[in-house]
Structure 1
């Protein structure tokens, strides 16, 4: 399947406004997701990843977009484990990153022992969690003084065509998550105060890939087929007519990446 090929139509009977149904949509077309979804900027991941971390959990790892950056930064001697509820997503991750251990699991029920990791990183997924239960589980598996890092890509809607693209994607979407600023609001007393940083960067996609990217959004995946095709046709029209896109062989899609980190309370034990 090429990067410009849309995923097959969503099955009938799905509710685009149901949180659990939307979360389950990621079992479909993991290879397409891996092709067109953005990565995360290296400097943001460097900011999240604690120095000297020996074991890192990428939680809700999906196809490994963040995992790949972590592996590149962590270097020899660091063990990275990827956890996700979707077996198709983990299979795609393993195909791309065969040296990374994978486990099926959720943020609320992590398949790891107590105090077993130095960092838990979460990319573009906190809004799918039961925040309080996830915070408790993450605190359980982190060593004292361990780091929770959350990273979130938002399209830069200050750019006109990007704002129009977003309007097409999310028109009528009652579950569209708030911007990354609100990613960590329910950590309770388990963690230190949350620190935040912002990073700007540009992803580059081949022409035609906006349709494919739109087709990986959970809201569109759960729309009725006719409505979904209408939205994708709007994306095609935007790319064909907007002066910043028409006739281009490459699309520059600007992102604002929000990064958040907090540490479990207590000193890091000597090793």
Structure 2
């Protein structure tokens, strides 16, 4: 169940969790999603695991299992929940246990966990209802950890991409403001923290940040573009036009570029004794 586009989006005017048709569209090409989407820094996974009281993890919006597999590799037992049966089926192929449901309506059947995580997905969950549900399934001292990869291509590349999006898909709310990706995502972080505080069941939310970089070739970047929220629903001809424009912009930047990522975690500990 993945993600808003990492580009400049009019996040401040949207309530992403209300756009379920986008949240449920990512399974159109689950294989591509799993192959192309960036992973998370090992240091981030390690810190979340260390801050949790035990190894039992619930992955909300687990998608194809990208973050779940990383937590499994760190020694955790992971159960995934995802709204998209196609994504869940792909995750199961790698041995993950996944249940299909919207998290707010999911039945935990009495099960509890040491950590509830959500990688690039919490904005598809109602922040207040989601935090309350997380509190219900977390053991005392358990950790809620919501994280996003915020991508920042070089400014000249980002500006060139923005021009292509505005020309080809002006109705897709990407690159619609001149804010930085981090400024756009900060709206999501604030909403997540507000939902946690509203529940009254957690310690004061914190933000943890982990910087990392990845280089992309032209083909690698174009391969992952259709996995961004809303773009998989474009008519084929329009998507082809968009990819051609982005490809030309990459060619103009010598055919490849480095993307700086910041993995941001909004996290809090479950308080109380029950």
Q: Which runs of 5+ in 1 are unaligned?
A: 1-17
Task: Give 1:185 deviation, angstroms.
Answer: 2.2
Q: TM-score, normalised by structure 1?
A: 0.79
Structure with higher helix content: 2
Task: Give 1:219 deviation, angstroms.
Answer: 2.2
Match of 1:230? 241
CA–CA distance in structure 2, aligned partners of residues 238 and 35 of structure 1: 23
Q: TM-score, normalised by structure 2?
A: 0.79
From 150, 163, 175, the equivalent of 2:146 is 150
Match of 2:250? 239
User: Compared with structure 1, are the counterparts of its residues 114 and 160 closer, same or farther at alpha carbon in structure 2 (3 Å cutoff)?
Assistant: farther
CA–CA distance in structure 1, aligned partners of residues 243 and 130 of structure 2: 34
CA–CA distance in structure 2, aligned partners of residues 31 and 87 of structure 1: 13
Structure 1 residue 37 corresponds to structure 2 residue 37? yes
From 205, 226, 231, the equivalent of 1:215 is 226
Match of 1:62? 63
Q: Which runs of 4+ in 1 moved over 4 A?
A: 166-172
Q: Deviations over 1:23-77 (max 9, x none)?
A: 121120000001111111111122222344131111100011111111111x2xx
How many residues align? The count is 241
User: Compared with structure 1, are the counterparts of its residues 37 and 211 closer, same or farther at alpha carbon in structure 2 (3 Å cutoff)?
Assistant: same
Match of 1:261? 267
Task: Give 1:210 deviation, angstroms.
Answer: 1.4
CA contact (8 A) 2:53 2:142 kept: no
CA contact (8 A) 1:114 1:142 kept: no
Match of 1:138? 134
Match of 1:3? none
Q: Which moved more, 1:183-192 or 1:27-36?
A: 183-192
Match of 2:77? 79
